[in-house]
Amino acid sequence: MRVGVVGGGINGLSTAWALLQAGHEVELFERGELMRATSSASTKLLHGGLRYLEHGELRLVRESLQERNWWLRHVPDLARPLRLVLPVYRSASRSRWKLKAGLWLYDRLAGRQGIGAHGWRSTAELTALAPELRASGLRGGYVFYDGQMDDYCLGLWVAERVRELGGVLREHAEVRRVSERGALETAEESHDFDRVVNVAGPWAERLNAASDIEGGCRMDPVRGSHLLLERPLAVGFLLEAPQDRRPFFALPYQGQTLVGTTEVRQGLDEPIRCSPEERDYLLEAYNHYFRQAVPEEVAETFAGLRPLIRSGPDVNRASREYRIEQRGRLVTVCGGKWTTARRLGQEVARTVGG
Ligand SMILES: Cc1cc2nc3c(=O)[nH]c(=O)nc-3n(C[C@H](O)[C@H](O)[C@H](O)COP(=O)(O)OP(=O)(O)OC[C@H]3O[C@@H](n4cnc5c(N)ncnc54)[C@H](O)[C@@H]3O)c2cc1C
């Protein structure tokens, strides 16, 4: 079949890759450049997401952990295992035993291909391992493992696989309309395909609405911002923001420290950038645990819009699951994490059939 794919983020590229592997012809349309939107503004983790266990999302966590291992095994130049510390302070909102149960389950869900089991470290062991961490009130902590990637370069690696299989990747080609009959319109021309897949991330619902396609999944775009601090870090940390008890990360990344993230609902027409409030929030959270960083140490900020499926009022509890809907010859993809993009693509290829 001839398939037109809309969106050149990791989910669009992975969809194109899976369709080509299934024997289809693929032409992908990206309005800007490949991998320049949400997919290169992530926390750079290939992970199951420990916190999704709290929401009972066992299927998603298991699939993500399997996928984490796939990327680490197949693209070791761009994805590597990362040691993370989960310190336990006297003031923590989650007990040591609750964390232990979560980490135990996390290791079990990773299965035999896990990249290292978690373990408890005393305060002395932890401060030897991570001397930069605030010691007062520290009771010890857990060490566990996840994957870290260069999200932009790893996405371009997938784009290379697409080109190798004969896929056509068109940049600066905005799609104005799609249809249930398999048509797709750009400013210049109209194309007819056997199937069209709308994988436009946070903009998927808007494209369908502009095409007079009613209903389907509703998106809830939620911005997440990060800071890059000009200071190195030896291991990663999963911490609790003192302001609101939300989990956030401080990670070593390309010789700097990556701090994030936030969750702020926003409209699609608002600029996607880290606000002064988010910057202050992240700096304050970081400074609660580490030697004070001053605003001048912020080398860069960046932000992305999560393509979440609309659920309840609490964005912190919104699922990272994806959903695939078919109407006639149009397939629309909503949601999805970076880590699970390959599975999402395979699922779309199954839906398209052959
Ligand atoms: C702050 C933050 C941190 C995250 N951290 C992680 C993490 O650590 N690990 C993880 O697994 N996941 C993470 N995620 C989730 C993950 O980044 C996203 O789920 C994923 O990148 C979404 O990819 P996508 O291809 O669906 O969307 P996008 O990357 O946004 O791609 C959609 C593309 O469609 C294009 N487009 C839109 N409309 C049109 C049109 N009309 N015509 C043509 N092209 C169009 C856009 O230009 C864009 O390039 C994070 C997300 C955020 C926001």
**69-96 pLDDT, tens digit each:** 999 999 999 999 999 999 999 988 888 9
Same-domain check for residues 136 and 228:
yes
Q: What is the mean pLDDT of the chain?
A: 94
148 lines ligand 1 (CB under 6 A): no
CA 32 to CA 28: how far, in whole Å? 12
> Residue 266: enclosing H or E segment and its boundaries?
none
Tens-digit pLDDT profile for residues 200-259? 999 999 999 999 998 777 888 999 999 999 999 999 999 999 999 999 999 999 999 999
Same-domain check for residues 158 and 296:
no
**Residue 58 within a domain:** no
Whose C-alpha lies nearest to ligand 1, atom 50?
Answer: 42
Mutating to test ligand 1, I would choose from 13, 28, 42 the residue with most ligand atoms within 8 A of its C-beta, which is 42
CA 316 to CA 241: how far, in whole Å? 13
Same-domain check for residues 227 and 214:
no
> Does residue 313 have a pLDDT over 90?
no
CA 241 to CA 243: how far, in whole Å? 5
Whose C-alpha lies nearest to ligand 1, atom 10?
Answer: 338
Whose C-alpha lies nearest to ligand 1, atom 27?
Answer: 201
Same-domain check for residues 112 and 224:
yes
Whose C-alpha lies nearest to ligand 1, atom 1?
Answer: 224
Q: Give how many domains the chain has, as a whole number.
A: 2
Same-domain check for residues 205 and 265:
no
Same-domain check for residues 302 and 167:
no
Do the beta carbons of residue 241 and residue 91 sit within 8 Å?
no
Same-domain check for residues 345 and 225:
no
- Among candidate residues 35, 23, 115, the one with its CA nearest the CA of residue 68: 115
pLDDT of residue 177: 97
**Residue 55 within a domain:** no
pLDDT of residue 94: 86
Structural tokens at position 153: 């370069």
Residue with the larger pLDDT of the pair 312 and 304: 304
For strands 175-178 and 183-186, give the pairing: antiparallel
Q: What is the CATH number of the domain that holds 24?
A: 3.50.50.60
CA 345 to CA 350: how far, in whole Å? 9
Mean pLDDT confidence for 57-72: 94
Same-domain check for residues 135 and 230:
yes
Mutating to test ligand 1, I would choose from 15, 17, 39, 344 the residue with most ligand atoms within 8 A of its C-beta, which is 39
**Residue 66 within a domain:** no
**Residue 207 within a domain:** yes
- Among candidate residues 318, 346, 319, 351, the one with its CA nearest the CA of residue 332: 351
CA 62 to CA 59: how far, in whole Å? 5
Preceding peptide of 261 cis, ω within 30°: yes
Do the beta carbons of residue 259 and residue 229 sit within 8 Å?
yes
Same-domain check for residues 189 and 225:
no
Same-domain check for residues 161 and 308:
no
Q: How many residues are present in the chain?
A: 354
Q: What's the pLDDT band for 300 if we cut at 50, 70, 90?
A: very high
**Residue 49 within a domain:** no
Q: What's the pLDDT band for 52 if we cut at 50, 70, 90?
A: confident
Same-domain check for residues 6 and 142:
no
Same-domain check for residues 295 and 334:
no
Residue type, 191: H
> Does residue 317 have a pLDDT over 80?
no
Angstrom CA distances, 340 to 67, 88, 131, 277, 320, stand at 6, 29, 34, 31, 10
336 lines ligand 1 (CB under 6 A): yes
Q: What's the pLDDT band for 101 if we cut at 50, 70, 90?
A: very high
Angstrom CA distances, 139 to 87, 97, 122, 125, 240, stand at 8, 13, 7, 11, 15
118 lines ligand 1 (CB under 6 A): no
CA 319 to CA 80: how far, in whole Å? 26
Mean pLDDT confidence for 306-323: 79
Report the separation in Å between the CA atom of 113 and the middle of ligand 1, taken as the mean of its atom positions: 27
Structural tokens at position 314: 């609490």
Domain interval for residue 33: 2-39+152-218+318-352
pLDDT of residue 17: 98
DSSP readout, 307-335? EEEP-SS-GGG----EEEEEETTEEEEEE
**Residue 112 within a domain:** yes
Do the beta carbons of residue 49 and residue 337 sit within 8 Å?
yes
**Residue 60 within a domain:** no
CA 237 to CA 222: how far, in whole Å? 23
**Residue 67 within a domain:** no
What are the E-state strand segments in 20-137? Answer: 25-29, 45-46, 79-89, 119-121
Tens-digit pLDDT profile for residues 329-345? 999 999 999 999 999 99
Q: What is the CATH number of the domain that holds 135?
A: 3.30.9.10
> Does residue 314 have a pLDDT over 80?
no
